[in-house]
Structure 1
Amino acid sequence: MIRRAVGAAAVGNVTEWFDFGVYSYLAVKIESVFFTDLSPTMGTIATLGTFAAAFLVRPFGGLFFGPLGDRIGRQKVLSLTVIMMAISTFIIGILPDYEAIGVAAPMLLLLARLLQGFSTGGEYGGAMAFIAEYAPDRRRGFLCSFLEFGTLTGYAMGATFATALELALSEEALLSWGWRIPFLVAGPIGAIGLYLRMKLEETPAFAKIAAESEGREGNQTLTEFRKIFVNHWRPMLVCGGIVLVFNVTNYMLTNYMPTYLTQTLPDSGYAGTSSTVSEMLQIAVLVVSMVLITFVGRLSDRIGRRPIMFAGCAMLVVLSVPAVLLLRTGGTGATFAGLMLMGLMLLCFNSTSPSTLPALFPTDIRYGGLSIAFNISVSLFGGTAATAVAALIALTGDLNMPAYYLMAAGVIGAVAVYFATESAGKRLPGSPPAAVDEAEARELVGSHR
């Protein structure tokens, strides 16, 4: 049952982040289709701004889906979010372009992105809670790391699709109809994700809470909001800080670096890379991360989550400038080295955050607390990172701005990790101990007695 739960949550996450990843890796083509009347710099900012717009509504998705998941169950809400995401992405694939309907085209694109963001607001927090509540205490780091394995798989699929299209199609065909194919694929992928999630049973921890609260009256959502914002404001702040450093690093690598390498550097007189080379290097970094992530997750079960996250923060502060300088140097080897450095920084967070963050909240508000804190932080700092850095470079002309941004995130993340409680090997708050097997269960019962 644990394997099924982890697999379905991870596959659903593949669906969500394939959809988001496709937009990232086709950003340059989307700019040419929907923002043809803008200058190159303003077109880049508008395209990345449309990407960031989805993050503005993610907190609303978290506020809606989070308490709903604590009230009616994780499985039902996760099934709803995955199909909403697939539908909104499919809509992007059938939108008319700017030449056909003018300014209405980017406006419809924005609406579809907002729907994507709203559904994603209920996805990641619920998926974290779902896997964490199924996982045994001593293997939670390893099993929860499969959630981000799904994220990396989705991004890698998006990059692979974009690269294959560029290799197979002419520029004219790609801009005319080829860019639509990955978005249209979201429909059947979403159906698969929905099928897998509908087959899941509710987590034992939530089932216990639901049985205890059955028959209670009153506004449960309002009560949960009071618990989250009044009684658990400290965990909310810690969660927000960890999410900030995690997602600034994530979106800098996966969302902004393709634009930085293919447009920003060439426009500033540097060699940069072609879209195809950039995407192939991104795929290589993602594949290496996919290979390593579950091993690092397993390591966190042995040595703790906090040491690994502290190492990631230190790398951000010390190695961000060297990573960006390697990118500016150009050439396949230097570019890959710069991207790989960022990938290793990200690995310290995406391998440990899915098991760290659920342990900050008790079972009865876990979905809501995670979804709200996660999405507020992502909305303010993660999804806007690419747009903010692009605007800062346009304003200052300093091509090292991505490094400075990452360094600031590393400092904030270190403060948040300092105040986080180590959760490795411990039971989730509000939940009974969860054993790997019968022998461990007997050991836990014996020690309790």
Structure 2
Amino acid sequence: MSGIPEITADDAAGLPSQHKATHNEKLVILGSSLGTVFEWYDFYLYGLLATIITAQFFSGVNETTGFIFALAAFAAGFAVRPFGALFFGRIGDMFGRKNTFLVTMGIMGLSTFLVGLLPNYATIGVAAPLMLVALRLLQGLALGGEYGGAATYVAEHAPDGKRGFYTSFIQTTATLGLFAALLVVIGVRYGVGEEAFKAWGWRIPFLISAILLGVSLWIRMQLEESPAFTRMKAEGKISKAPLTEAFARWGNLKIVLIALFGAVMGQAVVWYTGQFYALFFLEKMLKVDGATTNILIAIALLLATPAFVVFGWLSDRIGRKPIIMAGCLLAALTYFPLFDALSRNANPALYAAVQSAPVVVNADPARCSVQFDPIGANKFDLQTCDIAKSFLAKAGVSYRNAATPGAESSIRIGSAVVPVPVTAGLSPTARAVAIAAFQTQAKAALTTAGYPEKADPAAINKPAVVGILFILVLYVTMVYGPIAALLVELFPTNIRYSSMSLPYHIGNGWFGGFLPTVAFAMVAATGDIYYGLWYPVLAAGICFVAGMILLPETFRRSID
């Protein structure tokens, strides 16, 4: 790890403890942020294309399980982020921030490019999703080392009293990366057409990352090491064992745990609910087409992104804690009414049908399975309860359960009742015919009750939907805008990269990254499209309570 300028202790003594950023250093900070945008672009492409990824790589299982599997592969990249934080955090604390940037960027860019070249399930079978997950794991490791370095680097260049403002630009990079990915996906979708995009055009955004990799590496090559690390190196104060100091000593480990459960956990679930779960909810639950969903999300992101900087700036004046806690509390209190309003405005026909003709599954609970099949062996075609719920899950129809012990199942749609055929003992061919006849009858009943197959683009109240999405993203800016400055200020310089990276990536990698997977599994298990919201509501609420009691205010601290 070379490239760190050799500076003597006498040279270091001439550096002010927290200097004002020069013009060149501001350009360096801008370049660091821009490079991070590209890295987030790479990482979030997969999430935007989860529905298509399901068809390409998980077509060997039923549709509901395939979508949950696709989300699980999305989450796999988050699962390993804490390990990337430990590995690259140690390197960053021992050898410098700049060199670590270059390694993480190279791994991320190459992994993303290779996703665009992967053969699909139809071509090579189960090897396709396995290779996809392997590349997602590499991406997660790289991103685990990225964020802590970028936030630490920028904070150590920022003057006192402006760390919230300066680091807020790093906080915009995740959203700007998502926004860039949205623009590319929208452009390619309209350029090649929806059918071609589903068949092969989805690969183009991944392949474009090769260009972004070259630009990003060039940007990172221009960076200079941070003055705080340079001073620490010159004074011989670099930690020889940063992981031991950070996590094996209770004094620092206690701060890591407070940061995780009193700040980052809530920030993570608010971030992923506002920017990813909302996207999946629109497309999967409300049946809004993918292109329209991407455009609506992109507009909301464009409108709300400046608020990252606003709340970062505000945190320099009133503190980090009150803004983050307010965002968690607002999210916990308003998610259910906001997503209800989203349903009403994004697919009014579906919303009206649910109100006027709710769907009820009458079934014996002892004969029902959870509509999730990890190995793809269950076709849900033997028990009448499973046949009913499998049909409704695939159709994306919300329902509630009514226990009828000992009885065979039926679906009540408003006043209409559709009996489910008993298929046990039938031959596979006869079973398929019986189920097909049931599905035809159930679809006709849903149509009569007003349930649409897809959201009508002309009926979508687009200003209202964008407004709701804007509120959701505004909560994101409240919790995320000040979080980098808070984490940097919590930990000492010699173990800062490692210490702040681990709680950040456990929070965002595990609590946040697994949110779509867990939430949709909860929906599949209950039939209630809103049930998955209990995950972020409870996590944000717990974080608010823990943060109010345990989290210190840091905005007046020196970071040297």
Check whether the contact 1:66–1:126 (CA below 8 A) recurs between aligned residues: yes
Please report how far the alpha carbon of residue 278 of structure 1 lies from its aligned counterpart in structure 2 after TM superposition.
0.9
Check whether the contact 2:267–2:324 (CA below 8 A) recurs between aligned residues: no
Match of 1:411?
Answer: 541
1:129, 1:26 → 2: CA distance? 31
Specify the code of the residue in structure 1 equivalent to 2:260.
G
1:390, 1:227 → 2: CA distance? 36
Q: State which of 305, 313, 316 in structure 1 corresponds to 2:320.
A: 305
Match of 2:279?
Answer: 258
Check whether the contact 2:301–2:473 (CA below 8 A) recurs between aligned residues: yes
- TM-score using structure 2 length: 0.72
Check whether the contact 1:18–1:154 (CA below 8 A) recurs between aligned residues: yes
Match of 2:152?
Answer: 129
Match of 1:52?
Answer: 75
1:384, 1:339 → 2: CA distance? 21
Please report how far the alpha carbon of residue 101 of structure 1 lies from its aligned counterpart in structure 2 after TM superposition.
1.0
1:255, 1:82 → 2: CA distance? 23
Name the SS for the 1:181 alignment partner. Answer: helix
Does structure 1 residue 111 correspond to structure 2 residue 107? no
2:546, 2:85 → 1: CA distance? 21
Give runs of aligned pairs for residues 79-98 of structure 1, distance below 5 A: 79-98=102-121
Does structure 1 residue 236 correspond to structure 2 residue 256? yes
Structure 1 gaps, min length 5: 267-272, 432-449
Please report how far the alpha carbon of residue 328 of structure 1 lies from its aligned counterpart in structure 2 after TM superposition.
1.7
Match of 2:87?
Answer: 64
Match of 2:493?
Answer: 363
1:56, 1:34 → 2: CA distance? 20
Number of corresponding residues? 419
Check whether the contact 1:90–1:183 (CA below 8 A) recurs between aligned residues: yes
Specify the code of the residue in structure 1 equivalent to 2:310.
F
Give runs of aligned pairs for residues 78-227 of structure 1, distance below 5 A: 78-213=101-236, 220-221=240-241, 224-227=243-246
Match of 1:394?
Answer: 524
Q: Output one character per residue of 1:224-261: Cα deviation in whole Å (capped at 9) or x when no partner.
A: 32443323012101221222111212122333222221
Q: Output one character per residue of 1:17-49: Cα deviation in whole Å (capped at 9) or x when no partner.
A: 101221111111111111122222111101100
1:357, 1:415 → 2: CA distance? 19
Name the SS for the 1:220 alignment partner. Answer: coil
Check whether the contact 1:61–1:119 (CA below 8 A) recurs between aligned residues: yes
Match of 2:65?
Answer: 42
Does structure 1 residue 289 correspond to structure 2 residue 304? yes
Check whether the contact 1:66–1:371 (CA below 8 A) recurs between aligned residues: yes
Check whether the contact 2:116–2:207 (CA below 8 A) recurs between aligned residues: yes
Name the SS for the 1:42 alignment partner. Answer: helix
1:397, 1:213 → 2: CA distance? 60
Does structure 1 residue 18 correspond to structure 2 residue 41? yes
Name the SS for the 2:248 alignment partner. Answer: helix
Specify the code of the residue in structure 2 equivalent to 1:409.
A
Specify the code of the residue in structure 1 equivalent to 2:127.
A
Larger radius of gyration: 2
Match of 1:385?
Answer: 515
Greater alpha carbon shift after TM alignment, 281-290 vs 381-390: 281-290
Match of 1:269?
Answer: none
Match of 1:435?
Answer: none
Check whether the contact 1:144–1:297 (CA below 8 A) recurs between aligned residues: yes
2:127, 2:164 → 1: CA distance? 46
1:383, 1:410 → 2: CA distance? 15
Check whether the contact 1:56–1:379 (CA below 8 A) recurs between aligned residues: yes
1:227, 1:37 → 2: CA distance? 44
Distance 1:383 1:316, change over 3 A: same
Does structure 1 residue 317 correspond to structure 2 residue 332? yes
Please report how far the alpha carbon of residue 116 of structure 1 lies from its aligned counterpart in structure 2 after TM superposition.
0.3
Check whether the contact 2:35–2:220 (CA below 8 A) recurs between aligned residues: yes
Which of the pair is proportionally richer in helix? 1
Specify the code of the residue in structure 1 equivalent to 2:515.
A
Please report how far the alpha carbon of residue 262 of structure 1 lies from its aligned counterpart in structure 2 after TM superposition.
1.2
Name the SS for the 1:209 alignment partner. Answer: helix
Match of 2:9?
Answer: none
Please report how far the alpha carbon of residue 402 of structure 1 lies from its aligned counterpart in structure 2 after TM superposition.
4.0
Match of 1:339?
Answer: 469
1:319, 1:75 → 2: CA distance? 41
Please report how far the alpha carbon of residue 417 of structure 1 lies from its aligned counterpart in structure 2 after TM superposition.
3.0
Distance 1:174 1:227, change over 3 A: closer
2:236, 2:503 → 1: CA distance? 24
Match of 1:440?
Answer: none
Q: CA RMSD in A?
A: 1.7
2:33, 2:532 → 1: CA distance? 30
Please report how far the alpha carbon of residue 420 of structure 1 lies from its aligned counterpart in structure 2 after TM superposition.
2.2
Please report how far the alpha carbon of residue 284 of structure 1 lies from its aligned counterpart in structure 2 after TM superposition.
1.1
Match of 2:353?
Answer: none
Please report how far the alpha carbon of residue 283 of structure 1 lies from its aligned counterpart in structure 2 after TM superposition.
0.4
Please report how far the alpha carbon of residue 293 of structure 1 lies from its aligned counterpart in structure 2 after TM superposition.
1.8
Specify the code of the residue in structure 1 equivalent to 2:256.
M
Check whether the contact 2:522–2:532 (CA below 8 A) recurs between aligned residues: no
2:48, 2:79 → 1: CA distance? 21
Check whether the contact 1:322–1:338 (CA below 8 A) recurs between aligned residues: no
Q: State which of 334, 342, 359 in structure 2 corresponds to 1:327.
A: 342
1:313, 1:402 → 2: CA distance? 17
Greater alpha carbon shift after TM alignment, 28-37 vs 82-91: 28-37
